[in-house]
Amino acid sequence: MNEPTSLREISDCITDHRRVAVAGARTKPRLSRASADATLMSLAKYTGITDYQASEFTIVVRAGTPMAEVIATLAERGQYLPFDPLWVKRGATVGGTIAANASGPGRIRFGGIRDFIIGATVIDGRGQSLRSGGKVVKNAAGFDTPKFMVGTLGRWGAIAEATFKVFPRPPYSASRIWQCADHEEARQRIAQVARSRWEPTAIEYLPKERQIWVRLSGPEKAANGLLEDVGGEPGPSEADWAAYNELTWADNPGSLIRVPLSLNIMPTLLAELESPDHRLRVGGAGSTLWINSADDCEIESVLRRHHLKGLNHRDNAAPLRWGVWRDQKVDRALQAVFDPDHRFTAFC
Amino acid sequence: MAALTGLQALYPPDRCLVGAAPLKSFESDGLTAFKAKPRAVVLPETADEVIATVRWCAEHQVPFVARGSGTSLSGGSLPVADGIVIGLNRLNRIIEIDPDDRIAVVEPGVVNAHVSAAAAPHGLYYAPDPSSQVICTIGGNVAFNSGGAHCLKYGMTSNHVLGVKAVLATGEVVTFGGRSRDELGPDGTGLFCGSEGLFGVALEITLNLLPPPEAFHTVLAGYHSLEAAGEAVAAIIDSGLLPGALEIMDALTIEAAEAAVQCNYPKGAAAVLIVELEGSRERLEHERPQLTNLLKKTQPFETHIAQNTAERLNIWRGRKSAFSAVGRLSPDFIVQDGVVPRTRLGEALRRIDEMSRETGIRVANVFHAGDGNLHPLILYNGSEPGALERAESLAARILRLCLELGGSITGEHGVGMEKREFLPEMFDEATMAHFQEIRRAFDPALIANPGKMFPGSEAPALGHQGVHPLEQKGVISRE
């Protein structure tokens, strides 16, 4: 395994090898499964916060930096990344979080990782170092390739460094649980809370339990005042949320498939997928369905029926891609721009 | 150049304009210093007509420019000489508002403000609010990743676009993103936003809608120096508050706004600061005293808190009139759109002031202080020989200053025609070449809005045209 520690070494590693699989801490193992002839390049040693300007709301970090370190550094100055990056305690890195677009419950308030990445240095398949975006929170110059890199899974280039916009961290958060009779009631209540005046910072649904978890954040008095309005039962604690963001509920054998969703189709989809074999969660106010299952035979046909796509984050024996993926000429043309020699096809 | 016959066959004569007279009004956009004569202007009414037009252009290698209301301040919708203008104002259907999914699906010619108006009965709104929102269209907003006064907290247009269906310059119809707020794979939607019309034409755009803030707390503070107003912004940012808007106007701008709309700003102020907090009533109850205490320490000589909606709107009226008001001070002006790191605002303003004194060119300053987005208004009289060129040269120095301080050449207007020579000063050679390759992946024949964003292409004539008629009426403004 190659572990470059500078931009030059990353670039050399890419150009010196026919096929390169870029990885970080491999907390989402299925996303970086590489073929036998591939060279594994881990960016886990390319670390460090290179610039943090709390008064500018910006931080520049190298790809291998553990997200936990970024979060701790921001917290010292009362700031945070509002999108709740996932698998932080398990060691997720900055680069891996961007490449996997791993945003958690908090994204419903101000957006996901795509909405907070404002600049990036990417090493492409020719070993070129490309710097786009900027270091200021507002910028409309040039193509927004930093945003484009979100979700590229190492297949389009090695994300070496990223600049994030950061926000002041709310001093306090508290949560409530709403018990629902069925998925349709859950759909209606999620829609209601997402349109409410409460400015929720999480709306997650646990289908088996028929529970909606609602989190409010802000000044303590204000959040508690609003919670009276929200009603429901006293909800998950900070520790519960921390466990939730590690996806501990899915620590079972089998695949972990993520499916982009919209709220209105949630009840139908859940009804079709409900089985004792599947553990399900709906995140981001109906935006993401997570499926953890060792018996995945009907999942593919359900996703196809609804023209949905899924990505398996775990279980190296199961397929990576599920459901219906678009095949557009322009995507292939773009891939050829980033990786003309097909070096990043090392994943399988 | 191919005969127009095939193109004319796609449209009835009244929607395929040719000849000097009907084309006159399409020769320029919000950046009135440039103009170019198109060969024809087509006014499609359906997505299929747009697709057929782009395919005709692709087949015959004819350059085209998609255009909404033509409010671009960077010359983004300026025609290509002898090319086709695709006027999209008739594709103005709001296809769908889904209040539970909290999305709007719209055609590119829908006016920005119409989205919020349509969403309002469902308790939702569309957050991006560029100053020309009563007239500018979503297609243009997407192409130029438009901003507004609320970008620090809410981001820009691209942060509110979930999906785009578009016809690319090759004629291929593609979809990026969709109804979900989640996405797997590269963020094509993010790349399309801000591509300045160089990839193709958006046909259908899926927008994210938000519930509007329940309440506002708007404060106007007058200071004896710009520096003091700047320090107040720093104090607010460092306190952990996240205001919806933080705006500063300097003395020259205040004078103009006062004359135009009698907004009753503090008399004798060297600068005014507008701070707007927003959120639930409970949140504001807590944050209001916090802000009051903070501001007190920054020693404004006068503070006014809006007691009701009318007073709030009056505070904003002064701010929103600023650009057209400055038009009264001078026959012409150039608006710059540079960004500096917020902590270097003071330095940037001091140096702009020095440049202004040195050149004898008046500069009025209005800016989105929260995100460091400056809008220096460079005043000149276009009927004086060489005045436009001198103003342009000062504008160039200001842009270079923004880069020197670690900022950007554009916060929200885009590069367009106006700033294309400066893009290579912001990005290195490899990145510029990479941008060009990305462009070619979408448009190998370089027919989609050529001459914008990238330097080196033949420039249309720079000439004096005066203030945009809509700007004179105060309908649009250059910020």
Q: What percent of chain B has pLDDT over 70?
A: 95
Residues A34 and A163 occupy one common structural domain: yes
Q: Which of A138, A198, A221 sits opposite B156 (nearest CB)?
A: A138
Q: Which of B159, B178, B285 sits opposite A222 (nearest CB)?
A: B285
Q: In a 3-state reduction of DSSP, which class is residue B46?
A: coil
Closest by alpha carbon to B57, among B13, B99, B6, B101?
A: B6
Pair A311, A260: CB distance under 8 Å: no
Instruction: Count how many domains chain B has.
Output: 2
Domain that holds residue A279: 248-323
DSSP state for residue A275 in the 8-state scheme: -
Residues A159-182 pLDDT 10s: 999 999 999 999 999 999 999 999
CA distance to partner chain B, nearest, from residue A236 (Å): 22
Q: In a 3-state reduction of DSSP, which class is residue B5?
A: helix
Residues A118-155 pLDDT 10s: 999 999 999 999 999 999 999 999 999 999 999 999 99
Question: For residue A214, is it within any domain?
Answer: yes
Q: What angle do CA A271, A275, A276 make, to 5 degrees?
A: 145
Q: What percent of chain A has pLDDT over 90?
A: 94
Q: In a 3-state reduction of DSSP, which class is residue B95?
A: strand
What is the predicted pLDDT for the residue at B329? Answer: 86
Closest by alpha carbon to A30, among A258, A270, A199?
A: A258
Pair A261, B180: CB distance under 8 Å: yes
CATH number at residue A211: 3.30.1370
Work out the average pLDDT over B340-369: 93
Residues A72 and A134 occupy one common structural domain: yes
CB contact (8 A) between residue A140 and residue B102:
no
Residues B220 and B318 occupy one common structural domain: yes
Is B137 a residue whose pLDDT tops 70? yes
* Beta strand spans in B226-383 (E): 245-250, 271-279, 302-305, 332-335, 363-368, 373-380
CB contact (8 A) between residue A130 and residue B214:
no
CB contact (8 A) between residue B279 and residue A145:
no
What is the predicted pLDDT for the residue at B141? Answer: 97
Is A266 a residue whose pLDDT tops 60? yes
Residues B393 and B296 occupy one common structural domain: no
Tell the burial category of B456 from Cβ atoms under 10 Å away from its Cβ (0-12, 13-18, 19+). Answer: exposed
What is the predicted pLDDT for the residue at B114? Answer: 98
Residues B320 and B341 occupy one common structural domain: no
Q: Does B408 touch chain A (CB under 8 A)?
A: yes
Residues A224-239 pLDDT 10s: 999 999 999 998 999 9
Work out the average pLDDT over B450-472: 66
Q: In a 3-state reduction of DSSP, which class is residue B414?
A: coil
Check the CA dihedral B175-B176-B179-B185 and report its sign: positive
Q: Which residues in chain B touch residue A112, judged by CB atoms under 8 angstroms apart?
A: 181-182
Domain termination residue (choose one: A245, A274, A291): A245
Residues B235-266 pLDDT 10s: 999 999 999 999 999 999 999 999 888 989 99
Question: What is the predicted ipTM?
Answer: 0.97
In chain A, positions 245-274, which contact chain B (CB-CB < 8 Å)?
Answer: 258, 260-264
Residues A74 and A93 occupy one common structural domain: yes
Pair B131, B109: CB distance under 8 Å: no
Count of other CB atoms within 10 angstroms of residue B467: 17
What is the predicted pLDDT for the residue at B457? Answer: 63
Residues A213 and A267 occupy one common structural domain: no
Q: Which of A219, A223, A264 sits opposite B101 (nearest CB)?
A: A264
DSSP string, A99-164: HTT-B-TTHHHH--GGGTEEEEEEE-TT--EEEEE-SSS----S--HHHHTTT-TTSS-EEEEEEE
Work out the average pLDDT over A243-267: 96
Pair A320, A31: CB distance under 8 Å: yes
- Chain center to CA of A33: 18
CB neighbour list of residue A264: distance below 8 Å, 6 or more residues apart: A187, A286, B98, B100, B101
Work out the average pLDDT over B99-112: 98
Name residue, tokens 């970090």: A61
DSSP state for residue A2 in the 8-state scheme: B
Q: In what order do the strands lie in the sheet with A321-323?
A: A233-234, A172-179, A211-218, A202-206, A278-283, A288-293, A255-260, A309-312, A321-323
CATH number at residue B351: 3.30.70.2740
Count of other CB atoms within 10 angstroms of residue B432: 18
φ, ψ for residue A278, nearest 5 deg:
-105, 130
Name residue, tokens 């929102």: B133
Question: For residue B202, is it within any domain?
Answer: no
Question: For residue A336, is it within any domain?
Answer: no
Residues B219 and B322 occupy one common structural domain: yes
Query: Which amino acid, residue A346?
Result: A
Domain termination residue (choose one: B415, B450, B474): B415
Residues B338 and B393 occupy one common structural domain: yes
Q: How confident is the model at residue B459 (pLDDT cuts 50, 70, 90)?
A: very low
Residue B208 CB-half CA count within 13 A = 28
What is the predicted pLDDT for the residue at B461? Answer: 46
Residues A123 and A58 occupy one common structural domain: yes
Is B468 a residue whose pLDDT tops 70? no
Residue of B nearest to A79 (CA): B240
Instruction: Count how many domains chain A has.
Output: 3
Pair A150, A122: CB distance under 8 Å: no
What is the predicted pLDDT for the residue at B470? Answer: 58
Q: Which residues in chain B touch residue A53, judged by CB atoms under 8 angstroms apart?
A: 341, 343
Domain that holds residue B261: 215-326
CATH number at residue A146: 3.30.465.10
Give the CA radius of gyration of chain B. 22
Q: Which of A114, A223, A262 sits opposite B190 (nearest CB)?
A: A114
Is B382 a residue whose pLDDT tops 90? no
Domain termination residue (choose one: B392, B415, B438): B415
Q: In a 3-state reduction of DSSP, which class is residue A268?
A: helix
Domain termination residue (choose one: B309, B326, B343): B326
The Cα B121–Cα B364 span in angstroms is: 39
What is the predicted pLDDT for the residue at A316? Answer: 86
In chain B, positions 355-394, which contact chain A (CB-CB < 8 Å)?
Answer: 368, 371-373
CATH number at residue A283: 3.30.70
Residues B305 and B235 occupy one common structural domain: yes
CB neighbour list of residue A199: distance below 8 Å, 6 or more residues apart: A109, A216, A217, A218, B279, B280, B283
DSSP string, A279-300: EEEEETTTTEEEEEES--TTHH
CATH number at residue B262: 3.30.70.2190
Best B100, B217, B344 member to test A by mutation, with max A CBs in 10 Å, is B100
Question: For residue B386, is it within any domain?
Answer: yes
A with B: how many residue pairs have Cβ under 8 Å apart? 261
Is B291 a residue whose pLDDT tops 70? yes
CB contact (8 A) between residue B190 and residue A263:
no
Question: For residue A347, is it within any domain?
Answer: no
CA distance to partner chain A, nearest, from residue B386 (Å): 29
Closest by alpha carbon to A293, among A270, A307, A312?
A: A312
Residues A230 and A200 occupy one common structural domain: yes
Pair B174, A330: CB distance under 8 Å: yes
The Cα B31–Cα B75 span in angstroms is: 5
Residues A143 and A13 occupy one common structural domain: yes
CB neighbour list of residue B25: distance below 8 Å, 6 or more residues apart: none
Is B229 a residue whose pLDDT tops 90? yes
Work out the average pLDDT over B364-373: 92
- Chain center to CA of B202: 18
Pairing of strands A20-23, A39-42: parallel
Residues A138 and A235 occupy one common structural domain: no
Domain termination residue (choose one: A104, A135, A168): A168
Closest by alpha carbon to B434, among A143, A114, A345, A7?
A: A143
Is B153 a residue whose pLDDT tops 90? yes
